[in-house]
Chains A and B, each alone.
Chain A
C-alpha cells in the first residue's frame, strides 16, 4: 500500500509558532530532511489561517499556545480552535502538534481518530530528530498521540466499521467510502491506522488485508 506515491508531490509545510527560538530550531531541520519542500511560517492564528487558505500546505506543524493576532497573549484555546478549523478545511492537511502542553488534545481525540489526514502530537522538548520521525508518521496518514493523551491502544468505532464492511460485507474500498460518506483518502488512512493498532507490518510475501483480517479476528474485532 504505497499510499504516498498516489499523493501529489509534497510541496509546502506550514509551521505555526510564536516563539522565534522554536522556529529557528525546527525550520532548518525540516528543510534538511525535506529539501524540496517550501516551508512557510506563521506566528499567530490569523496569519496561519490565511496561509492555509492561500497555499494549502500538505503538513501543518502547530503550537497549541498561540496568540490570536500579533502581540496578543498566547492562549491554548486559540491553538485548539485553529486545529479544529484546519481539520475542517479541504483538502485536509496532515497535522502535527508541537507544544509544551498537549493535554488539551484529549477533547479532540475522537475527531483525530476520524480525521482524514495524518496526525501526530509531541512535546516540544523532544529532540529534533524525534520530531522528524513523527513528521514522517503524520505524512504517512498515521496517528500518533503521546501517553498523556492516549494511555492505551484504542480502536476507533469507525475503523471497526471499515473492518466490518470489508470482511463481513465484502465491500470494495470505494463502496466503503461511499457507505461511510468519507473520502477515499480517509479510508486509506483508516487502513493504516487499523494496521498500526493491530501491529500488522508490511511483509513482501504476505497480503496485507488478509494479515489484517487474521489479526482482527484474533483480537475479537470480527465475529
Chain B
C-alpha cells in the first residue's frame, strides 16, 4: 500500500512539473480562441483548404449573363439602356430558364425604351429584381424597380468578415421601416424559391428543410466569435463549388450565340462583370473567378468576385442544400470544438511525455499535425468545418513545451545525481574512513561495546542518506521498484540490476524458498556486452523477479535453485530451474503473459516446462544482437 502511495506521489510530482506547463498552454489556446484571437487564422485556413478542394464535377443549375467592359464598349453606353435590357430579357425568356435574376439596379429609367422594359417586367413572370435593404440608414438603400411586386424582389446585401473577405450570404432579414418591421428576402433566396416553385417545391427560409434541420449561422458558429449573425445567414461552402459558373456575355445573348440547354431550366443571373463597376468583393477561397479569368491572372491568393457571381454561389448552394436536404457547410457545437482542441493538446502532451528524446517528440508532433490537417481537410471535403488552427497550435505548443520541460527535468535529475555521487564520494573518503578507523581501533572490549554499536548505526545512517538521495534523483523511466520500497536505477549495468533483483527476491519469505539448501548463482556478467534499453532492462528484471517469485510461491519442497545465464548458439538463455513439487499449470496467468511480452520485446521466446523427476524450468531465450559493423 505504502509503495503504491509513494509511487503515486512521485508520479504526481513529475506530472505537476512536466504536464502542467502543457495543460496551461492548451488552456491558453482555448482562451485565445474564446476571445477571438485565432478567428482570422481559422478563416484563412478554411479559405486555404477550400482553394485546395477538387473542382466540382456536377453541372451547376446556375449560369451568369455578365456585362463586361467589352460589352459596354460594343453597346456604346453605360448603363445599358432599358431597351437593350428588355431585348435581352425577352430573348432569354424564349429559352425557358427557370428564373431570370436581374442583378442591376434599375430604380430609375435609363432611356431609351423604358416602356419596353416595363412591358418585359410585366409579361415575363419569372424575372426577379434587386434592391439593397439592410443599410442602417434607409436613404442609402437602393430601391427595386417600381414595376416589380415585392415577392419578385430580393436584396443583394451581404456581410463581409472583418478581414474583408466574403464567406456568408443572407437569406432573409427583418427590416425596420418607418412604422413597421417587415421580413425581407435576399436575391439568391428569391431565385431559388422561384426556381423550386417551378419544380413544385415550396421553399421557405426557415431552417427546416424537409426533414433536415439546416444549421443556421450563429454568432459563434464554427470558428466565428461574436459575429454579426443578424437575419438568417448561411455560410458559403466554396470547397464544394470549386468551379466557374457558365457565363454568357451580353453580346452573346443579343446575337443568340449560345446553346439553348445552357439556359433552359437554369437560374440565370444578369449582372455586371466589369471591374469598373463597384459591385465587387474579395475572397481567398476560390481558385478562379470570372474576374481573375478575364484579367488573365490565374490563381492569385485573393480573388475579386463580382456581386452577380456571389449571388450565383449563394443560389447554387441553396439549390443543392434543398435538393440534397443537408447543409453545405456544417460545424460542431462549441463544446465539441473545444473538446476537439483539448484532445489534440493532450495528444501533444502525451507525445512530449512518452517519447524521451526531444527529437523524436518533434518528429511525432509534426506527423500528428500532418494527420490533423489531413483529417480537417477530409472533413471539409465532406462538408464539415473542423477547427484546425487552434487544435494544431495546442498540439504543437503543448507537445514541444512538454518535451522541453521533460528533457529539462531529466537533465536536472542527471545533474542532481552527479552531485549526489560526488557528495557520496567525499563522505566516503572523509567521514566514513574516519569512522572505520575509529571502529577498528575500538576493538571488541566490552566497555566500548555500546559506543561501537552507536558508531555502527551512525555508519549505516550515513550510507542510507546516500541511498535515499539517489533514489529520489531517478527519473520515472529509470525506476524499477523492488518489493520493499527499494528502487533500482535502470541506468546501472544490467548484470548489477539482475543480481540485485536475484538477491532481493530470494530474501523474501516464501514457502518455496524455505527448504532450499543450494543456490547455484547465475553469471549475469555475460550480458554486459549487449546493449539494453531501459525498457528492456525493466523487462528482464521483471522476468527474473516473477520467475523467482513463482519458485517461492509454488515450488514446495525445493532444495535447489539453479539460475542460469548463458550464451548458447547465438542466443542468450536466462533459465530458472527448481526441483520442487510445483506443477506446470496450463493456465496462462498474468505472469506468463508478461513474460511473453518481454520475450517478444527482445525478439525471443519464453517457455516453461517440467523437469524429470521433478521441478520446473522457465526460460527466456533471446538472440544475441550483433552490431552492424561487427
Contacts and interface: CB of A to CB of B under 8 A. Distances in A.
A106 B429 contact: no
A167 to B, nearest CB: 16
Contact of A155 (B456, B493, B518): B518
Nearest to A155: B518
B517 A22 contact: no
Given A107-B496, A154-B520, A125 B429 contact: no
A125 B425 contact: no
Nearest to B516: A152
Nearest to B444: A127
Interface residues of B, number: 40
Interface string B433-475: 1111101111110000000000110010001000000000000
Given A151-B506, A154-B521, A107 B499 contact: yes
Contacts of B428: 65, 74, 76, 100-101
B520 A160 contact: yes
A68 to B, nearest CB: 13
A204 interface: no
Interface string A71-106: 001111000000000000000000000001100001
A160 B564 CA distance: 13
A153 B518 contact: yes
A110 B439 CA distance: 31
Contacts of A25: 437, 440-441
Interface residues of A, number: 37
Contacts of B441: 25, 128
A19 B430 CA distance: 9
Contacts of B499: 106-107, 109
B517 A153 contact: yes
Contacts of A219: 517-518, 559-560
Given A106-B496, A128-B440, A221 B518 contact: yes
Interface SS, B side: helix
Given A100-B436, A151-B506, A154-B519, A127 B425 contact: no
A157 interface: yes
Contacts of A128: 440-441, 443
Interface string A159-197: 010000000000000000000000000000000000000
A74 B425 contact: yes
A54 interface: no
A155 B520 contact: yes
B611 to A, nearest CB: 12
B436 A220 contact: no
A75 B424 CA distance: 10
Nearest to A126: B440
Interface string B508-533: 00000000011111111100000000
Contact of A74 (B429, B435, B496, B521): B429
Given A106-B500, A221-B518, A152 B444 contact: no
Interface string A14-38: 0000110110010000000000000
Contacts of A133: none
13 contacts: A21-B433, A25-B437, A73-B425, A110-B521, A127-B439, A128-B443, A131-B440, A151-B506, A151-B507, A152-B506, A153-B517, A219-B559, A220-B579
Interface of B: 425, 428-429, 432-437, 439-444, 455-456, 459, 463, 493, 495-496, 499-500, 503, 506-507, 517-525, 559-560, 564, 579
Given A153-B519, A221-B560, 10 more contacts: A21-B433, A21-B434, A76-B428, A101-B428, A107-B493, A110-B521, A123-B436, A128-B440, A151-B507, A160-B520
Interface of A: 18-19, 21-22, 25, 65, 73-76, 100-101, 106-107, 109-111, 113, 123-129, 131, 151-157, 160, 219-221
Cβ-closest 10 pairs across A and B: A110-B523, A125-B439, A124-B436, A125-B436, A21-B437, A100-B432, A154-B521, A155-B518, A154-B519, A106-B499
